[in-house]
Amino acid sequence: MKALRSIVFAAAALLAACSGQKEDAAPAAGQPTSIRFATDWRAQAEHGGFYQALASGEYARRGLDVKIVQGGPGVNVPQLIAAGAVEMGMGSNSFIVMNLAQEGAPVKAVAAFMQKDPQVLIAHPDQGIERLADLKGHPILLSDASVSAFWVWLKAKYGFTDDQVRKYGFNPAPFLADKRAAQQGYITSEPYTIQKVAGFQPKVFLLADEGFPGYATMVLARDSLISQNPAAVQAFVEASAKGWRDYLYGDPTAANELIRKDNPEMTQDVLDQAREKLKSYRIVEGDEGLPVGAMTDARWAAFAEVAKAQGVYPESLDPKRAYTLQFVAK
């Protein structure tokens, strides 16, 4: 699973760097618009819709020349945007986008391709843990970034306390060694890995299905690109939405080939199970019947309310500074 990376320190750099960059003007007539799109981790099924749009020519048909720039543990997407190394990038979760807004960075989310954040908590199956609330008092393995992200919601909703937190190093061994422990993960990744390694099916609690209101896999664009070349932003959002629908419910072979080309360590069984989880848990579409990629003022307001109540953001921060609904299907 990719780490939830804290980017407050990068937001100031993004603000300074973007303010000195040239405008993102439209290309000459007849020329495709070049878009370098940075993902937040190594190529995987969680990026499948973007790879599908690339493989099927959806971007090209809309006048875009798209290059997907693969992420990894040392890659910071806001910094890539700041340096002008990419035109657009992926925002992993709503905290990242709101952090940028808090710092006044000239960048916004223009679409959300996961209506449900795929974050889960994972527990052992034989400890009497039947509900997420049952984890109160249990040790929970979390990354540093998660403590300042979805953990604030868990504390607010379930009364979890900071003395439950244990350091998570993205290795299931400590979880497997302690049957009372729980750990963070992605619905598309860690539960499958644990089942393969340990031979049992863990208890899995998808935070989004428990009421966590954050989006995931958002597309970020600089304000200058939005204002100077809105047609390119619109084309990218529409092509990506088509790519996600086709990846989930069409033939994903071409996209998976590109994913494995970028990330040779990825195996087909991992891709297959992740794609099935994306479908069965309705991670991309959500449960509200909205178009793929959609965002709403109400969801952003609900997320901001939870975060502000826990002191993550000041009451004065307007969540509308973090996003625009200009490009999403209504």
Shared domain for 47 and 186, answered yes or no, is: no
Q: Does 329 reside within a domain? A: no
User: Pick from 171, 192, 216: which is nearest to 266 by CA?
Assistant: 192
User: Pick from 132, 122, 117, 120: which is nearest to 172 by CA?
Assistant: 122
Confidence of residue 23 (pLDDT cuts 50, 70, 90): low
Shared domain for 246 and 180, answered yes or no, is: no
Which range marks the domain in which residue 192 is found?
A: 119-210
Alpha helices of the chain — where are they, by DSSP H? 8-19, 48-56, 58-61, 77-82, 94-102, 144-147, 150-158, 173-177, 190-198, 223-228, 230-249, 253-262, 268-280, 297-309
Shared domain for 183 and 106, answered yes or no, is: no
Could you tell me if 219 and 110 are in contact, meaning their C-beta atoms sit under 8 angstroms apart?
yes
Q: Does 1 reside within a domain? A: no
Q: What is the mean pLDDT of the chain?
A: 92
105-128 mean pLDDT: 97
Confidence of residue 4 (pLDDT cuts 50, 70, 90): very low
Tell me the C-alpha distance between 286 and 190, whole Å.
21
Express each pLDDT in 271-328 by its tens digit: 999 999 999 999 999 999 999 999 999 999 999 999 999 899 999 999 999 999 999 9
Q: Among the three residues 170, 187, 210, which one is the final residue of a domain in this structure?
A: 210
Shared domain for 59 and 204, answered yes or no, is: no
CATH number where 186 lies: 3.40.190.10
- The model's pTM: 0.91
Shared domain for 174 and 298, answered yes or no, is: no
Shared domain for 131 and 205, answered yes or no, is: yes
Q: What is the DSSP string of 102-157?
A: HTT-SEEEEEEEESS--EEEEE-TTSS--SGGGGTTS-EEE-HHHHTTHHHHHHHH
* Residue 6: per-residue pLDDT: 40
Could you tell me if 219 and 109 are in contact, meaning their C-beta atoms sit under 8 angstroms apart?
yes
Partners of 205 in beta bridges: 121
Length of the chain: 330
Shared domain for 44 and 128, answered yes or no, is: no
Shared domain for 112 and 227, answered yes or no, is: yes
Could you tell me if 115 and 285 are in contact, meaning their C-beta atoms sit under 8 angstroms apart?
yes
Q: Which residue has the tokens 């003007």?
A: 25
Number of domains in the chain: 2
Could you tell me if 91 and 218 are in contact, meaning their C-beta atoms sit under 8 angstroms apart?
yes
Shared domain for 102 and 14, answered yes or no, is: yes
Q: Does 219 reside within a domain? A: yes
Express each pLDDT in 255-272 by its tens digit: 999 999 999 999 999 999
Q: Does 284 reside within a domain? A: yes
Could you tell me if 187 and 277 are in contact, meaning their C-beta atoms sit under 8 angstroms apart?
yes
Q: Among the three residues 210, 231, 256, which one is the final residue of a domain in this structure?
A: 210
Shared domain for 112 and 228, answered yes or no, is: yes
Q: Among the three residues 148, 180, 210, which one is the final residue of a domain in this structure?
A: 210
Shared domain for 66 and 100, answered yes or no, is: yes
